[in-house]
Amino acid sequence: MKTIKYNSILIILSLILLSNECKDDIDCRMNFVNNSSETLWFDIVCCNYTDTETWKGNCYDVKVPANSSKKLCSNETWEHVFSENNTDSITIYVTDYDTASSYDMEKIIENQKFHKKYLLSFDDLESMNWTITYP
C-alpha cells in the first residue's frame, strides 16, 4: 500500500513540474545550418551597425559543428529584440570557430576575417523561415 501512495505522489509531483514548464515563453525560431566541414561561429548583432562604426557587441552567438544545425532559443521573442534595440535589421557574422576563439569580434570585423556577413530585416528572416544557411 505504501508503494502505491509513493508512486501516486511521484506521479502527481511530476505532472505539476511538467505543467509549470512554459515552452510557449521560449522563441526557438532562429535556426543555423552549417553545411561546411568546419565548426562555425555565428555572431548576431542586434543593434544598428555599419562598417564605419566600432563594434557595439553582440546579442547572441552560436557555435555550430560541421555539417549540422542548431536552433537558437531565447526567452525574448525576435519581435522584442528588434523593438528593444530600435533597429530594422540584425547583422550576422559567420566565422570559423578557431578564428572566433583566437580574436575578439572587433578585430575579426576590422580585418574582415569572417566568412560571410548577413544584414537581415525581420521580413527577411520571416521569408527565410528563420533559417540561416552557410554556405
What kind of architecture, by CATH, is found in domain 23-134?
Sandwich (2.60)
Domain spans of the chain?
A: 23-134
Task: Report pTM.
Answer: 0.77
57-104 residue pLDDT tens: 678 999 999 999 999 999 999 999 988 888 889 999 999 999 999 999
Give the CA-trace dihedral at 74, 80, 84, 89, to 10 degrees: 90
Helix (H, G, I), strand (E, B) or coil at 94: strand
Using CA atoms, how far apart are residues 108 and 93, in angstroms rounded to an integer? 9
Q: What does pLDDT average to over the chain?
A: 83
Nearest alpha carbon to residue 45 among 93, 112, 77, 79: 93
The mean pLDDT value for 100-124 works out to 93
